[in-house]
Amino acid sequence: MASYLMNCWYVAAYSRDVTRKPLARTLLGEPLVLYRMQGGDPAVLYDRCPHRFAPLSLGKLVGDEIECGYHGLRFSQAGNCTRNPHSSAIPKAARVRAYPTVERGGFIWYWPGDVERADRSLIPDFGFLDDPAHFSVVRGYIHVACSYQVVVDNLLDLSHTPFLHPQFRSDEVSAEAMLAATTSKLFREESRIFAYRLIEDLPVPAWRREAFDIKPGPVDTRLHMTWYPPALLYFDSGACPKGAREREGFCAPAAHCITPETEVTSHYFHASARNSRLNDPEFDTVHLGFLEAAFIGQDEPMLVAVQTRMGTTADLFALQPVLLSGDGAAVAARRLLDRMITKEVNQAAADKSRSLVPTAILPLSR
C-alpha cells in the first residue's frame, strides 16, 4: 500500500530558505525545485526538464521563469514551457508539474495531490507563529534518517520524556514519580487526534525555571499534542500554578511539521514559541540550543536506531509491537492515517476505472 497521503498540505521549506536561487529538495520521493518569483510569491515545480531530464534546479531564473541550464528551455511557475531557443515552436509535451503553494507562519506549504482539491483552510492554525506581541519564536530543522511516522510516534508518546530527556524533570523527582503524577487522556475526531497530558504539582527543573522566568514552587505542567494528518503537530506546552489560568503562566506552544523525504528519511521542521523574554535575540540562541540538545542530541539518535531495527517496513503493526499505556495516541494516529491512505488509493483507482469506460454509442435519430 502507498505510504503517503497525497491530498493534504506538507511543509516544503522555511520561508527564509526560499529565495531567487533555485532550491532542490526531495519530498515524498519526488525531486522538486523551489524558488521565489519577482513579486515574492513562492513556486514549486517538478525538478526535471522534460527534454533530457536535467534538474531545473541547476538552471537559473529569468524573471518569473526558470531556465534549464542544459538546453535553455524556460518554464513558468505554472509549469508551461514559454521559450524554446532552438525553434519558434514549443513541443506540446514540454511542461513540468506545478504544485499549489501557500506561504504561512514562516513556512512554504505545498500540495502534492489533486490540484482541484487544494484547500488552504486545511492548513492547521499555528497563529502563535505570527503573534510577535505575545510570543518570540525560534525555528529549527533536522534531517532525520527515519520514516516520518516514526517521528510522529515519538511526539505523540511523551511518556519517553523522563527517560530519554532526564533534563526535563527536577533532580528530586524520579521518572516513576513523574509518570505517576501525569494524567493522560485521548480524544479522537474524524481527522485529528488530541492527546491530553497534565503533570500535576511537581517542580520545574531549576535551569528551566531560571531561563524562562517561571515562578518557583510546584506547578501543573501541560504537554498537550494535537495531530493533524499526515504529520503535523501542535504542541501546547506550558506551566502554571494550580488554579491559575494558562495564559497567566509560562506558555511554549510549538509546531512540529514532518515531511517525508523518502520511505526512511524525513524533513523535520520545528518552530517553538515562548511568552517570556520577548525580543531577546541572545536568548533565542539559548532557547534553540535547549531544543536542539533534546531533538538532535537525544531524539534523533534514538529514532534512527529504531528505524534501523524496524528495517524498511512502513507497517509498524506487522512487527507485532508490545503496546504500553502511553501508545494510545500514536496507535490511533497510525490507524487513522492508514484508513485515509487506503480510502484515497481506492478513490483514485475508481476514478481511473471510470475514465477508461468507453462512452456508449447511441443510434442516430431518424
How would residue 211 be classed by pLDDT, with cut points 50, 70 and 90? confident
Tell me: pLDDT of 25 over 70. yes
Note the pLDDT tens digit of each residue in 309-336.
999 887 899 999 999 999 999 999 999 9
Angle of helix 148-156 versus helix 328-356 axis, rounded to 10: 140
- CB 128 within 8 Å of CB 141: no
Q: Which domains does the chain have, with CATH numbers?
A: 10-120 (2.102.10.10), 131-342 (3.90.380.10)
% of the chain exceeding 90 in pLDDT? 77
- The alpha carbon dihedral of 158, 2, 353, 44 has a sign of positive
CB atoms within 10 A of CB 87: 7
**Which pLDDT score, from 0 to 100, does residue 1 have?**
43
How would residue 364 be classed by pLDDT, with cut points 50, 70 and 90? very low
Note the pLDDT tens digit of each residue in 54-63.
999 999 999 9
The Cα–Cα gap between 212 and 252 comes to 10
Q: Give, in order, the Cα–Cα distances in Å from 318 to each of 53, 162, 311, 312.
A: 38, 28, 12, 12
Give 321's contacts (C-beta < 8 A, 6+ positions apart): none
Note the pLDDT tens digit of each residue in 78-101.
999 999 999 999 999 999 999 999
CB atoms within 10 A of CB 304: 15
Cell of 220: 501543573
The Cα–Cα gap between 135 and 140 comes to 16
Q: Has this prediction a pTM greater than 0.85? A: yes
Report the range of poorest mean pLDDT among 9-18, 161-170, 296-305: 161-170
**Which pLDDT score, from 0 to 100, does residue 358 have?**
59
Question: b/e map of 151-181 (b: 16 or more CB within 10 Å)?
Answer: bbbbbbbbbebbeebeebbbeeeeeeebbeb
Which among 184, 177, 224, 185 is positioned nearest to 201, based on CA atoms? 177
- CB 56 within 8 Å of CB 96: yes
Q: Where would I find the H helices in the chain?
A: 148-156, 161-164, 175-180, 206-211, 281-294, 300-310, 328-356
Which among 306, 301, 307, 274 is positioned nearest to 290, based on CA atoms? 274
Q: Name the phi and psi angles at 222, rounded to 5.
A: -100, 140
